[in-house]
Structure 1
């Protein structure tokens, strides 16, 4: 059966993203050449330019893929929690813990921000922040959390989680940094609980 044009485009994009993901994780963004990426995928530079514009566009696609996987993992952790509050803390800690994974360290927390800027401004973060804000607002409404502004609490929690992950990724001893960050994050977040 002949493949459709959209199937061929999707296959080309998938090959480029897979090759870039491997290269960015092992060599880093700066050391990954477009010629090596396209050769690894068995494609031409033209395919890269046509599908992603440039290497930066390819990095965005890799980050979008990894981010979707991270969100799915965090969602599973959140769903397994006993309460919405426990779920919020569990998914926050899961994100922080993912900073121990070399691929996430390199692509999402070191190279991504260096090339694409503040992760809190990435398009994928908007939906995540909106979802967390709804959770925080419901926790305020049901009396679990103190009467705080849900948006402010969301941005501060998100900032703490993101900066903890960035710190862990850059730390000489990421495991020790994670243990400290997890402990302090839980203590800090618990300050939002209603008295």
Structure 2
């Protein structure tokens, strides 16, 4: 019988705790979830949680980072089209649609800002702004969208998308708000197109 590498055991323990926390936070929210809820579900002790994440807030941070990575992967896949404008619109729409996902709705949009604060979410925001600005710059260079300051436009679009996603997430009927947000997003983005390309 071969002994498992310590790094494999560490990775497995972290993965178990993150998976259990995702389920518990989604089901009950951060405030209503006790550490025992996810340590028991993972078959681990509080000591394992403290060792790997420091505390419950550290575990939330790791869960948010995991979800952020998964969201980025989904957004990049939605953007991968031959038509850069179509990819851009699909990316923006998907961001809004993800606010209906129970994990994203509860953990990323509700719990993370309230518990972790804006400073923890800043690296993700900066990455998103850089990605949007790069896409806008490329479309300006190709004559797909009107000339403007790509960084400023990225901030405006990101701000609108983030606020709309939070608005959708807090609704009693989020699907209704998503429909309205999607329709009006199309109206907003159409102003970027160059003449004759709509």
**Same fold at TM > 0.5:** yes
CA-to-aligned-CA distance 1:136-169 (integer Å, 9 cap, x gap)? 1111122222121111111111111111111111
Give the equivalent residue in structure 2 for 1:110: 110
Give the equivalent residue in structure 2 for 1:25: 26
Give the equivalent residue in structure 1 for 2:183: 183
User: Which TM-score applies when normalising by structure 2?
Assistant: 0.92
Q: Which 5+ residue runs of structure 2 have no aligned equivalent?
A: none
Give the equivalent residue in structure 1 for 2:165: 165
Q: Which 5+ residue runs of structure 1 have no aligned equivalent?
A: none
Give the equivalent residue in structure 2 for 1:46: 47
Deviation, 1:129, is 2.2
* Structure 2 Cα separation of the partners of residues 71 and 125 of structure 1: 11
Number of paired residues? 194
* Structure 1 Cα separation of the partners of residues 3 and 124 of structure 2: 34
> Judging changes above 3 Å, is the alpha-carbon distance between structure 1 residues 120 and 156 closer, same or farther for their aligned structure 2 residues?
farther
Deviation, 1:108, is 1.1
Contact 1:16/1:48, CA 8 A, preserved across alignment: yes
Contact 2:113/2:121, CA 8 A, preserved across alignment: no
Give the equivalent residue in structure 1 for 2:144: 144
> Judging changes above 3 Å, is the alpha-carbon distance between structure 1 residues 74 and 120 closer, same or farther for their aligned structure 2 residues?
farther
* Structure 1 Cα separation of the partners of residues 145 and 187 of structure 2: 14
> Judging changes above 3 Å, is the alpha-carbon distance between structure 1 residues 146 and 120 closer, same or farther for their aligned structure 2 residues?
farther
